[in-house]
Chain A
Amino acid sequence: MLLALERRAERSTAIGIASPVIAVALTLATVAVLFAIIGKNPIEALDVYFLEPLLDPFSLGEIVVKATPLVMIAIGLSLCYIANVWNIGAEGQFLVGAVAGSWLAVRTNGTDAGYWVLPAMLVLGTLAGALYALIPAICKVRFGASEILTSLMLVYVAYYGMDYLVRGPWRDPKGLNFPTTAPFDPVATLPPLFEGSRVHSGTLIALMVVMLIAVMLGRTIMGFEIRLVGAAPKAAGFSGFNADRLVLFTFAISGALAGLAGIIEVAGPIGYLQPDISPGYGFTAIIVAFLGRLNPIGILIAGFFLALTFIGGENAEIAMKVPLDLTKVFQGILLFYVLACDSMIAYRVRLIRGVRKAVPANA
């Protein structure tokens, strides 16, 4: 028996919409089996993981808090992936954005600096993220170095750089030797949206960004260029579109958004800089981008769902003593199913039994 793929005459729209849903359903089924294997009641575990957080107002808020950076990074990455450019170092750009913005917060700490601090921090974070992302982009355009590998390597470099700063020069002298900066001043923090909630105004920024990118992608020449270069690079070349410029552009935008997400995370829910500001947002955002089918609305939904796996994972760890690593397993399995289901949009799978008969070429 053999598996064979047959190209569909037309890409199937129905499967295009259904594929993420099927992928999520398959993931839940696989996860249920995994729970049974590690000796937990699958129904109870799924309930704790995926349902309870949705019914509790506090958890719901936490999901929105976690979805904010995921969506913001993923929407930038989607531009890259549509154009067939592979930025997988968003985690590093996120960290660098957080560090650059925090620099100002640390410098103005305890001074009577006014309300310009927070906007300036956001700008700094955005710029730093963009510049950091431009390193692999320039290496690719100028020297032909694989952007996949260089952008990933720079994640480690960013991490160690941040680690050095919070353990060294930026450490809070009053912080009991913990590797954190001093808590940011009120003028350097994002206000919460509601009293007593951790949901902050960064979420509104993320929504605005999604709208802007959606308009850019659907309604501008640049957006058209991105889609064309991704779908038909040769045709794009003939029509005079510059692929190199596009690499620089998509990297800069995705880096800027990752950097912005980084500084928003630090100035919003966390409130100071410390080594573990990200549970791997930059990598999870890759899954968000694909689960959302590289579509702005899809990414909003997918970001919410992936944030749910983080919160559900924390819940399950406390309530059922399930290891936290299970969340990563889910996310990996989910990405596999998403990719496999996406393949069904362009291909039809046939099972072939027995030996194939040779068909004459001009039959």
Chain B
Amino acid sequence: MLDALGQILGLIFSVNFILTVITASTPLLLAASGELVAERSGVLNLGVEGMMIMGAACGFAAAYVSDSTIVGALCGILAGAAMAAIFAFLTLGLAVNQVATGLALTILGTGLSGLIGAGFVGMRITPAPQLYLPVLTGLPVVGRILFGQDAFVYFSFALIIGIWLFLYRTRSGLILRAVGDNHVSAHALGYPVLKIRMLAVLFGGGCAGLAGAFLPLAYTPFFIPGMTAGRGWIALALVVFASWRPGRLVAGAYLFGAVTFLQLSVQGLGLGIPPQVMSSLPYLATVVVLVLISRTRGASGSAAPASLGVVFVPDR
């Protein structure tokens, strides 16, 4: 037992650990970043899983046909945004319940991605290249970690920093948060509530699509139907975990990446723990984390945007 513990500790403090965690966390961070912006504008889009899997299927198909990671990533973004557009039309244009529409989006995305991806199952592509810098990557320990990632990883950090700057340091970000906190007042002040929300939802869709595209373009070099495996739902939970704040989102995404790593490496140790127990770990962890975070928040009130999920129909 002690021996096994030692092995686990040894794994945790290895360069390999950090590298694996980064790749496992990146799709979560990308998808959750987009959803954070959408939710900050007051829209709860439960269709992240559907938008992600569409991003994965379309991204892989495009990358395979064009033999280019960038084209694949762009098509992933477009696919996610297109799905988000359907969601926006229904929830914003027709004032439909957001929870039910989000579920519909996930069901549709799962089916459509299966249709699109069916012809590409079993194909392989060249995975996204790691961006090595001549001297810096060669540095001991930090070299590989800081300067040896693929473009998705760097982009995910640029994205979350950009989102933070936008939300807290620009006027538009302030307006977006105002819309999410009180759409009636924002409307009365003359801000186009529905238009702002539509843009936020499209942005969220694009991010989810990119997160999905990351999976077949960089994580594994092939497409498997249903390969998002609930990551979209975990991304939704992460936004709650982060209390709708970008900084905490990074911490949360990396915490979950670490759980994924634990799952993979403990399986490798052969401790006799059934693989199914380890596979269910990220989902169990999500439940536990949601409970803990909601509990500690308790009395101080919810940190959620006040208008989150509430239908808004402007009166004329």
A residues near B (Cβ < 8 Å) are: 3-5, 7, 38, 86, 88, 135-136, 139, 142-146, 148-150, 152-154, 156-157, 160-161, 163-164, 167-168, 283, 286-287, 290, 323-333, 335-336, 339-340, 342-343, 346-347, 349, 356, 359
Contact = CB atoms under 8 A, between A and B. Distances in A.
Contacts of A135: 287
A332 B105 contact: yes
Given A290-B100, A333-B108, A347-B313, A339 B90 contact: yes
A331 B95 contact: no
B94 A160 contact: no
The 4 closest A-B pairs by CB, nearest first: A332-B108, A328-B111, A325-B114, A329-B111
Interface in B297-316: 297-298, 302, 313-314, 316
Contact of A139 (B86, B100, B112, B290): B290
Interface of B is mostly: helix
Given A143-B298, A343-B90, 6 more contacts: A4-B314, A146-B237, A149-B236, A153-B233, A286-B103, A325-B114
B233 A149 contact: yes
Contacts, number: 153
B283 A154 contact: yes
Interface residues of B, number: 50
Given A145-B290, A342-B96, A329 B90 contact: no
A241 to B, nearest CB: 22
B107 A144 contact: no
A150 B291 CA distance: 9
Interface of B: 46, 50, 86, 90, 93-97, 99-101, 103-105, 107-112, 114-115, 118, 225, 230, 233, 236-237, 240, 274, 276-277, 279-280, 283-284, 286-287, 290-291, 293-295, 297-298, 302, 313-314, 316
Contacts of B112: 325, 329, 332
Contacts of A342: 96
A244 to B, nearest CB: 14
Contacts of B225: 325
A153 B104 contact: no
Contacts of B298: 143-144
A329 B108 contact: yes
B286 A149 contact: yes
A148 B277 CA distance: 23
Contacts of B297: 144
A149 B240 contact: yes
Contacts of A332: 50, 104-105, 107-112
Contacts of B314: 4
Contact of B287 (A86, A153, A349): A153
Contact of B94 (A5, A143, A287, A324): A5
B22 to A, nearest CB: 24
A347 B115 contact: no
